[in-house]
Amino acid sequence: MLAMSLDDLYRRVILEHYQKPKNRGRIEDGAITIDLNNPTCGDKISLQMRIEDGRVQDAKFLGEGCSISLASASMMTEAVKGLTVEESLELVDLFSRMMQGEEVDLDKFPLEDIEALTGVAKFPARIKCATLAWKALEKGMNEYRESKS
């Protein structure tokens, strides 16, 4: 039996999220919508979240772009469901630090698939692809907080 390298496993996880994304679609009503794009490579995302009582009830996205961008959006929408606004922002910070190559406690991610994106930090041109959905999440959470204060 052939041993699969960690890089191969990570590539497979990213490809799986790209080919069969989780939470792809629209939330019909009561959603915060954030549209962002990465003009450097053409990635676009429209993130929608339904937040009730300070907790993410649902998160969906539509977008176009590279496999890393869309896989990251798929993973992020899975990870954020059920989290509070504060927990979501902590996750954004953790992911951002991971993308900058910092050692982070991967056990803090509610979805272990996110670990597959750790290798992106080695490719500076791809970091913007991986962080696009997370920047949309951060913007949406900040808009929600501002609307409640």
> Over its length of 149 residues, how does the chain's per-residue pLDDT go in tens digits?
455 676 787 889 999 999 999 999 999 888 999 999 998 889 999 999 999 999 999 999 999 999 999 999 999 999 999 999 999 999 999 999 999 999 888 777 777 788 889 889 888 889 999 999 999 999 999 999 999 88
The predicted structure's pLDDT at residue 4: 60
- The answer to whether the beta carbons of residues 96 and 131 sit under 8 Å apart is yes
C-alpha pair distances (Å), 96 with each of 1, 73, 92 = 37, 14, 6
Q: Which residue bears the tokens 């979501």?
A: 88
d(CA 25, CA 22): 9
Strand partners for 84: 55
d(CA 28, CA 23): 13
The predicted structure's pLDDT at residue 10: 83
The predicted structure's pLDDT at residue 1: 43
The predicted structure's pLDDT at residue 119: 87
Task: Please return the burial class of 141, using the count of CB atoms within 10 Å of its CB with bins 0-12, 13-18 and 19+.
Answer: buried
d(CA 56, CA 49): 7
The predicted structure's pLDDT at residue 85: 96
φ, ψ for residue 58 (rounded to 5)?
A: -155, 150
Count of C-beta atoms within a 10 Å radius of residue 60: 21
